């Protein structure tokens, strides 16, 4: 088995996740144009882009089960290899429709990487320090998503295939690093997997994931459309994403500390209601410079609360169910995101505020329901008695 301390593993996984998310978003501003140049119609382009999320929804629980059954390291390595090879196909002279397969492989691989990395963190870190560890992975995801589109600006549409090819090569190198990293696997256990433990914290975390996914789905489809309707420049639209990401990354460790020291239930509820409130507010702000700073304010609440939700997901779980829990959590997030993204585009054509307002109400309702789901759950985690406090 590979040997690395939990902190070394966390640092490696943080870099791997950062690289993967940066590579995944590097060409997004130009991907639609790239596919159009390869003969894709708007309907075909929409289907190709959506296939990334569809693949994630279909495969994430299955891949979590594979990680529980055969180990996280094989899932992590194979996902990086397949993602890298799929990315390299953008350099081939193929018509647009062929890239549906590429996006589906990328979506399944990205989902597997998320499941394997977060379940590895849950396996390697005690519950009273898991929030800080999870916050590092979440921050890496967001930092990669912030850096990727900005770095991709330097490439033209004609160069995009080779940009993806290079990111594919980097993913293959990351697979080698992952192969020699301890991700919390133990000796193979041939016995059947134990059934999932459906406790209150797990169920509530899935509900929270749905609330978050609904909000993100609206942003995926309607955010740029809303800013454009308010006469925003392309620079303002790009900056709005960066202005959201930067506070999250800066406060990620604080959010992890809060998850490990304060009541996770109330912190998570605050974050969910905070997100719903801001979602309902945006359509009524007609100054695009103000929109940038309001987005940063929303990010503060998300950064301080997201590690608490992720920690509740794995709280009290056995080692051989962490992958399946993470897989269901990712499926819940991605599935609700896809539904909201599809519906909000139609709702936006009726009224620009309608998708934001409607989903904000639904998201707030799901958030408030966690008061029921998490009733009686120990939200404050303390170290076991007679043991020293862990170092940060």
Residues 14 and 162 in one domain: yes
* Residue 385 lies inside a defined structural domain of this protein: no
- Full DSSP string of 93-133: ---GGGHHHHHHHHHHHHHHHHHHHHHHHHHHS-GGGHHHH
* Residue 40 lies inside a defined structural domain of this protein: yes
C-beta separation of 111 from 334 below 8 A: yes
Residues 116 and 203 in one domain: no
- Last-in-domain residue among 158, 184, 210: 184
Tell me how far apart the alpha carbons of residues 37 and 1 are, in angstroms, rounded to a whole number.
Answer: 47
- Last-in-domain residue among 120, 154, 184: 184
What is the pLDDT at residue 96? 85
For the record, the structure tokens of 310 come out as 């992720």
Tell me how far apart the alpha carbons of residues 247 and 139 are, in angstroms, rounded to a whole number.
Answer: 10
Tell me how far apart the alpha carbons of residues 202 and 192 are, in angstroms, rounded to a whole number.
Answer: 22
Rounded to a whole number, what is the largest CA-CA distance in the chain? 67
Residues 302 and 230 in one domain: yes
Q: Global pTM?
A: 0.84
Top pLDDT among 200 and 391 is at 200
Domain count, the chain: 2
* Residue 30 lies inside a defined structural domain of this protein: yes
Rounded to 10 degrees, the C-alpha dihedral 159/160/166/172 comes to -160
Q: What pLDDT band is residue 392 in, cutting at 50, 70 and 90?
A: very low
* Residue 386 lies inside a defined structural domain of this protein: no
Residues 179 and 203 in one domain: no
Over range 113-120, report the average pLDDT: 91
What is the pLDDT at residue 43? 73
Residues 75 and 168 in one domain: yes
What is the pLDDT at residue 390? 45
Q: What pLDDT band is residue 250 in, cutting at 50, 70 and 90?
A: confident
Kindly report the CATH number assigned to the domain that includes residue 293: 1.20.1250.20
Other CB atoms within 10 Å distance of the CB of residue 351: 12
What is the pLDDT at residue 372? 96
Range of the domain at 24: 1-184
Over range 332-337, report the average pLDDT: 89
Mean pLDDT, the chain, rounded, equals 86
Helix, strand, coil percentages, rounded to 5, for the chain: 80, 0, 20
Residues 364 and 256 in one domain: yes
Residues 339 and 203 in one domain: yes
* Residue 191 lies inside a defined structural domain of this protein: no
* Residue 189 lies inside a defined structural domain of this protein: no
Residues 156 and 288 in one domain: no
What is the pLDDT at residue 389? 43
Residues 172 and 256 in one domain: no
* Residue 75 lies inside a defined structural domain of this protein: yes
Residues 247 and 139 in one domain: no
- Full DSSP string of 341-390: HHHHHHHHHH-TTHHHHHHHHHHHHHHHHHHHHTTT---S--PPTTSPPP
Over range 322-334, report the average pLDDT: 91
- Last-in-domain residue among 160, 184, 208: 184
Cα dihedral sign, 185-74-19-62: negative
Tell me how far apart the alpha carbons of residues 115 and 313 are, in angstroms, rounded to a whole number.
Answer: 12
What is the pLDDT at residue 44? 78
* Residue 390 lies inside a defined structural domain of this protein: no
Residues 367 and 219 in one domain: yes
Residues 147 and 178 in one domain: yes
What is the pLDDT at residue 56? 83
From residue 81, give the alpha-carbon distance in Å to each of 24, 173, 331.
14, 9, 22
Q: What are the helix (H) ranges across 5-159?
A: 6-25, 28-37, 42-70, 72-88, 99-124, 130-152
275-309 per-position pLDDT tens digit: 999 999 999 998 888 988 898 888 888 888 999 99
């Amino acid at each position: 088995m590979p040997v690395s301390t939990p902190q070394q593993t966390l640092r490696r996984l943080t870099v791997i996740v950062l690289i993967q998310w940066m590579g995944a978003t590097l060409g997004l501003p130009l991907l639609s144009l790239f596919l159009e140049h390869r003969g894709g119609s708007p309907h075909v382009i929409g289907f190709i882009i959506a296939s990334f999320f569809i693949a994630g929804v279909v495969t994430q629980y299955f891949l979590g089960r594979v990680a529980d059954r055969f180990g996280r390291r094989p899932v992590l390595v194979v996902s990086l290899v397949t993602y890298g090879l799929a990315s390299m196909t953008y350099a081939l002279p193929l018509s647009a429709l062929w890239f549906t397969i590429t996006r589906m492989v990328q979506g399944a691989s990205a989902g597997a990487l998320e499941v394997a990395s977060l379940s590895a963190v849950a396996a390697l870190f005690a519950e009273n320090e898991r929030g800080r560890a999870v916050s590092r992975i979440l921050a890496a995801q967001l930092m990669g998503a912030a850096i990727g589109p900005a770095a991709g600006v330097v490439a033209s549409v004609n160069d995009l295939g080779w940009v993806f090819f290079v990111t594919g090569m980097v993913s293959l190198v990351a697979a080698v690093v992952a192969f020699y990293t301890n991700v919390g696997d133990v000796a193979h256990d041939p016995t059947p997997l134990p059934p999932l433990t459906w406790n209150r914290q797990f169920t509530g975390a899935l509900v929270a994931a749905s609330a978050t996914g609904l909000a993100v789905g609206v942003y995926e489809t309607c955010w740029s459309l809303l800013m454009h309707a308010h006469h925003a420049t392309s620079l303002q639209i790009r900056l709005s994403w960066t202005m959201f990401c930067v506070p999250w990354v800066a406060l990620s460790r604080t959010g992890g500390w809060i998850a490990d020291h304060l009541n996770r239930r109330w912190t998570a509820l605050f974050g969910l209601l905070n997100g719903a409130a801001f979602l309902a507010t945006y359509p009524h702000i007609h100054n695009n410079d103000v929109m940038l700073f309001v987005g940063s304010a929303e990010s503060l609440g998300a950064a301080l609360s997201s590690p608490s939700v992720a920690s509740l997901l794995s709280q009290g779980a056995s080692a051989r169910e962490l992958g399946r829990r993470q897989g269901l959590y990712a499926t819940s997030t991605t599935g609700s995101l896809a539904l909201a993204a599809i519906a909000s585009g139609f709702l936006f054509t009726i009224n620009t505020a309608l998708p934001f307002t409607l989903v904000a109400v639904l998201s707030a309702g799901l958030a408030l329901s966690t008061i029921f789901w998490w009733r009686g759950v120990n939200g404050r985690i303390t170290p076991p008695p007679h043991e020293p406090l862990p170092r940060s």
